[in-house]
Structure 1
Amino acid sequence: MSDTVSLAQSIVTMQAASTQQALSVEMLRQNAQADQALVAMLQQSAEQTQAALPAGQGTLVDLTV
């Protein structure tokens, strides 16, 4: 009888660990997607900023100041 209870407890523990691991993987996946979206947004913003500069601006630095 105690072997059956032990086996049942072991199975429940393994299922709980499996569920926890699946949730952790999903959270990591969602974080990676959020990071990718942030990088894409920042890259797009940087490209728009570069496109908005007038010709010649930002190419030379005046060191005599």
Structure 2
Amino acid sequence: MSAFKSLGLMLGVYVAYSVVTGAVYARHRMRGRTFRREDEPVAYWSAIVAYGALALMLVFIF
């Protein structure tokens, strides 16, 4: 298994964990921050979609 596939699988696990817990840590401007599903649903789902797409690309393309 390549390093990219391993990273993609780990990122996929983090995405699943974030969906279950309702919080995701993502970059925001110069620093990162935690987005919660209840407080900021658009930012939360945007980060989930971006991380999910990245995980799929790491597994299937690289």
Question: Do they fold alike, i.e. is TM over 0.5?
Answer: no
Output the TM-score relative to the length of structure 2: 0.35
Larger RCO (CA within 8 A; separation ≥ 6): 2
Structure with the bigger percentage of helix: 1
Output the TM-score relative to the length of structure 1: 0.33
